[in-house]
Amino acid sequence: MEYLEELQKYGLSEKEAKVYLALLKKGPSTVNDIAEKADLVRTTTYDVLKKLKEEGIVGSMNYNKILYFEPATPEKLIQILDERKKHITSILKELKQLRKDIPEIPRSEIYEGKHGVKTVFQIILESKKPLYGYANYKAMIDFVKSYGPNFINTRAKRKIPIKIITESSKESSRDLKTKDKQQLRETRTIPELCNVNLNQYMNDEFVAILSSNIENPIGIIIYHKDFAKEQKIIFEKLWEIAKK
């Protein structure tokens, strides 16, 4: 159904979006007509209409002893959904406190394929914390093409500093070392990294591992503060022996 996905992204459930769109297209309608247009069973449609009516997204009227429903204008819908978000925002601090009271449980997330690797890069950027890592820069750039420079530029724009150990190559020298200062980066090199297809980034909350192997690209994020802390200790030892 047209616009269904957009309405879901804005805050309606799938069934709510289907019912609202059906009403917009048909105008004042009975439950049966709406159910048929929205491709839902009658009882489900009635329950959804009841909820939407309580929120002011749908109204009702009796005509010749028959109950008809009609939709709020799209402008009114947006206003109501915005108010939903404002309400959640007003209790955000309390919700975060509830989360803090739960002991941290280590967890991992796996993302497959080239798009999965890009997703992990995006998660790294969203953390907004100083980064440490080692990478085969040339292999990763060959693998993700323009997204690699985009990651670097976005990280610098968001003022996320990084210490990176990479392979010795003309690409890493040209794209990294010569631009370290302007891109909030310190770069050192270890020649052997040219034989490695795994890149690793870490901060004080997680460790992200990315494979640039074309046959099996994968991204893994491990959320475990103790593990991240230990990986950073290993990184610092490698940093000491890496070439400036």
Helical packing angle, 31-38 and 42-54, nearest 10°: 110
- pLDDT single digits (tens) 26-78: 889 999 999 999 999 999 999 999 999 988 889 888 888 889 999 988 888 88
pLDDT at 30: 92
Looking at 41, 60, 92, the residue that finishes a domain is 92
Residues 125 and 214 in one domain: yes
pLDDT at 139: 80
pLDDT at 104: 66
pLDDT at 103: 64
> In what helix (H) or strand (E) does residue 207 lie, and over which residues does it extend?
strand 206-211
Strands in 107-112's sheet, in edge-to-edge order, are: 107-112, 218-223, 206-211, 198-202, 131-135, 162-166, 185-189
Looking at 62, 92, 122, the residue that finishes a domain is 92
Whether the model clears a pTM of 0.85, i.e. scores above it, the answer is no
Compute φ and ψ for 167, nearest 5 degrees. Answer: -75, 160
Residues 69 and 142 in one domain: no
pLDDT at 170: 78
User: Domain with 127 in it: what CATH number?
Assistant: 3.30.870.10
Residues 165 and 234 in one domain: yes
- pLDDT single digits (tens) 190-201: 888 888 878 899
pLDDT at 203: 93
pLDDT at 91: 79
Q: Is residue 123 part of a domain?
A: yes
Q: Which of 171, 168, 126 is nearest to 145 (CA)?
A: 171
Q: Which of 32, 106, 30, 107 is nearest to 62 (CA)?
A: 30
Q: Is residue 102 part of a domain?
A: no
- Tell me the residue range of the domain where 163 lies: 107-241
The residue behind tokens 């802390």 is: 229
Q: Is residue 99 part of a domain?
A: no
Which parts of the chain have pLDDT scores under 50?
Answer: none
Q: Is residue 167 part of a domain?
A: yes
pLDDT at 100: 65
> For the chain, what is the domain count?
2
User: Domain with 38 in it: what CATH number?
Assistant: 1.10.10.10
Residues 165 and 113 in one domain: yes
Residue 117 to residue 55: CA distance in whole angstroms: 40
